[in-house]
Structure 1
């Protein structure tokens, strides 16, 4: 490996991960003494059995005031107010009740509602016993309906106090990493992270695979750029290339190298660079065809059986030929199972699907191509075309596609592959 073999690899986010990171909904919360949390929960679930607690299992349902994010502490009244409200309700049972608007729109505490020095012990006690309890999403009840239900049950029925509903915006879906859980806990509401990722590959799987390949990824990406430059110099393709690597033995072996040949005619001449060219001669399509041809060669069969001018499946450059002639792949097995593919650019939708259906294990590319690429999920175009990214996330959509694999981008390598614009399908 060369001195620049290591590369920074950033795992791609799946389409569901992206959705989880931006989708929120609003929940009702209420301030109650801690010992009543379970009984209130049962009342809610009995009234709305269609509401499944699993919907909010990623949220801490019962939280002390001191653990709320600062912006919620400013919005909500301090817990001591509930204790004083309980005492006041006993002294003024016949007083006129506040209007409904006062119940549903909590305001920041005023100075006279703050704990005084003489009330410090009471505040400390209420801090231990009073909790903010997440009830349910606002779709389950109208505010007045929920207040009426709560008032019929303890603690509000026995203490003769009004429940004050609080509106809390929270993430609708579970976090996909510990970092995201911490961020959401500071931004929205305390999160219960369960060290998993329900919307993509498990964090430990990603970390383990990243550690396995990052020390040599820079070399393979550099080799892909070499392949791209060689076919581009011949005038038969764009400056796009890829390298297929086998790491099943623990060390990386180059199985195939391919540059783009979309401008190569059926008789091998360079064509005019107009239109899309031969899409079946994209670098990815060529690499897969060369792997198939190489398996035939290793099996002792005539690889010419697969000669297809459309795929340009014969090695054209010195680098492509050297990799093709190495006897380093099993003759049997499903096409590209357990192989890794390194690309100068994010592959187009067609090539992304070819990678998936050929059953590659891992995909690593340099430059993002949000307007034409099929791998990324979280890029909505670029400065010139905002909001127009494809966002397909083809590498990990197990509910819709019959294969999945891990994928990374290498931002540093992207700077070296900038000659191809994001209007060209690669």
Structure 2
């Protein structure tokens, strides 16, 4: 035992975690895609005129790129519209059959009657009343590209509206600005906004198939490693030198996964190993993540034939301090030539702080899984799930996947369970 290691508390087995599931974290761009919407014009037209109207709009609006709304089904039958739009767009064919329209139409304020069409010409309005299956609802463009009156006048001068007794019926819809990032989101948006054309991809984060494959790979064992992390945090806390925070580093690239390092938090440990007063933030270099990374580095040195004790630094707490940590540190089960934490996974009791999130990123971890979100101090999550006292707040850094800004990315999950009595002793103002 190292000279400054702690005396042992009685060894206890890791308690199993409450039943739950792994929920992939959303990236910053995914969060943005899920909340940004815009207004667009929709016009009711006979099906056979859809292409001519499309060409008309594209010619009139050279700055408008159809790719902006390529995630939408641009031409839609009435029966595929969301229920709330069906009530708004109540089709004229139903009125022709004598149905009672009890819902207001989102009619263009510029829809004014015109003189009757010349004798012998079929009014295109007849197409609306013959068969509602011939009617289409066509997304023209976002409203920012043209004023309502100008668009109405443009349509009014061209087929099929030039021969109608009344002008085109322009309607407004709210649509998502960006493409959906999952099939589930596409289905939800199709119900809430407008029918979505999902392309089985995620332009703002890891591909859904990559996430699904990795989730399946770790789902069965995640509760085991998270329980071990909780044990490591509890053992340290019993000695008064740290919070109930722990982490486990696992090599899952082998046929049988192996634990490479286990570390608890020891921010309240003095340089000589005694417990300090719990004031301020404590020793930030002794967070569980920092200790675990240091242990991995020292194991690689040991495996390469170097003496890792030459690098002992009490400030980092980089030696095993409890029987929950020691067996894994002493086991020679890591490649000596690898780069720090490449291909390794890290399991944490709590979402890591910004500093530890960056340490995980720069150490090149492959995957990160944590059990308790820390909305006010955590660096991994990108959304705004807050606390009871501070709802909707959070740092929103989403550090695990920001490829345009950071030089590494990895997959990350939150373990969610229905246990309302799970560990709540950690103050969210503490950096973990």
Question: Is this contact kept in 2: 1:65–1:79, CA < 8 A?
Answer: no
User: Any conservation in 2 of the 1:255–1:323 contact (CA below 8 Å)?
Assistant: yes
Change (3 A) 1:273 1:70: same
The alignment status of 1:192 with 2:197, answered yes or no, reads: yes
| Structure 2 equivalent of residue 336 of structure 1 | 341
SS for the counterpart of 1:258 is strand
Q: What are the equivalent positions in structure 2 for 1:58-207 lying under 5 Å apart?
A: 58-80=71-93, 101=109, 103=111, 125-159=130-164, 161-207=166-212
Q: Which residue is 2:241 aligned to?
A: 236
Question: How has the CA–CA distance of structure 1 residues 296 and 35 changed in structure 2, closer, same or farther, with 3 Å as cutoff?
Answer: same
What secondary structure, in the 3-state scheme, does the structure 1 residue paired with 2:325 have?
A: helix
Say which of 250, 253, 262 aligns to 2:255. Answer: 250
Measured at CA, do residues 83 and 40 of structure 1 come closer, stay the same or move farther in structure 2, by a change above 3 Å? farther
> Following TM superposition, by how much is the alpha carbon of 1:319 offset from its aligned partner in structure 2, in angstroms?
2.0
User: How far is the alpha carbon of 1:346 from its aligned partner?
Assistant: 0.5
**Deviations 1:380-421, CA, capped at 9 Å, x for gaps:** 421111232111111111121111111111123885432212
Q: CA deviation at 1:81?
A: 7.8
1:50 alignment partner in structure 2? 63
Residues in 1 aligned to 2:171 and 2:345: alpha-carbon distance in whole angstroms: 51
Aligned residues: 396
Structure 1 residues 5-14 or 43-52, which shifts more? 5-14
Post-superposition Cα deviations, 1:221-241, rounded to whole Å, max 9, x if no partner, equal 110011101111121111100
Hey, what's the Cα distance between the residues in 2 that align with 1:411 and 1:81?
48
1:363-374 aligned at under 5 Å gives the runs: 363-374=368-379
Q: Which residue does 1:27 correspond to in 2?
A: 40
Contact 1:380 1:391 in 2 (8 A): no
Q: Equivalences for 1:386-401 in 2 at 5 Å?
A: 386-401=391-406
Kindly state the Cα deviation for residue 175 of structure 1 after the two structures are TM-superposed. Answer: 1.1
After TM superposition, the score normalised by the length of structure 1 is 0.88
Distance in 1 between residues matched to 2:247 and 2:281, nearest whole Å: 19
Q: Secondary structure at the match of 1:355?
A: helix
Partner Cα distance (1:298, 1:414) in 2: 43
1:339 Cα deviation after fit:
0.3
C-alpha change, 1:83 and 1:30, in structure 2 (3 Å) is farther
Pairwise CA RMSD of aligned residues? Answer: 2.4
Distance 2:94 2:323 in 1: 79
User: Which residue number corresponds to residue 420 of structure 1?
Assistant: 426
Query: Alpha carbons of 1:293 and 1:360: their partners in 2 closer, same or farther (altered >3 Å)?
Result: same
Does the C-alpha gap of structure 1 residues 101 and 334 become closer, same or farther in structure 2, counting only changes over 3 Å?
same
Partner of 1:357: 362
Mapping 1:190-339, distance limit 5 Å: 190-339=195-344
Aligned to 1:16: 29
Question: Could you tell me whether the CA contact under 8 Å between 1:235 and 1:263 is conserved in 2?
Answer: yes
Q: Note the C-alpha offset of 1:122.
A: 7.8
Tell me, what secondary structure is at the counterpart of 1:29? strand
C-alpha deviation, 1:7, in angstroms: 5.1
CA-CA distance at 1:306 after TM superposition? 2.2
Q: How far 1:298 moved relative to its partner?
A: 0.6
Q: Contact 1:29–1:133 (CA<8 Å) still a contact in 2?
A: yes
Aligned to 1:94: none
Q: Supply the distance in 2 between the matched residues of 1:82 and 1:43 (Cα, whole angstroms).
A: 29
| Shift in Å, 1:11 | 1.2
Question: In 2, distance between residues paired with 1:4 and 1:279?
Answer: 29
Give me the whole-angstrom Cα distance separating, in 2, the residues matched to 1:235 and 1:408: 30
* Secondary structure in structure 2 of the residue aligned to 1:224: helix
Shift of 1:125: 4.8
Instruction: Answer yes or no: is the 8 Å Cα contact 1:7–1:217 preserved in 2.
Output: no
Quote the Cα distance in structure 2 between the aligned partners of 1:423 and 1:265: 22
How big is each residue's C-alpha offset from its partner over 1:190-230, in whole Å with a ceiling of 9 and x where there is no partner?
11111111111111111111111111111101100111011
- What is the deviation of 1:78? 0.4
Q: In structure 1, which of residues 404, 408, 413 is the aligned counterpart of residue 409 of structure 2?
A: 404
2:102 counterpart residue number: none
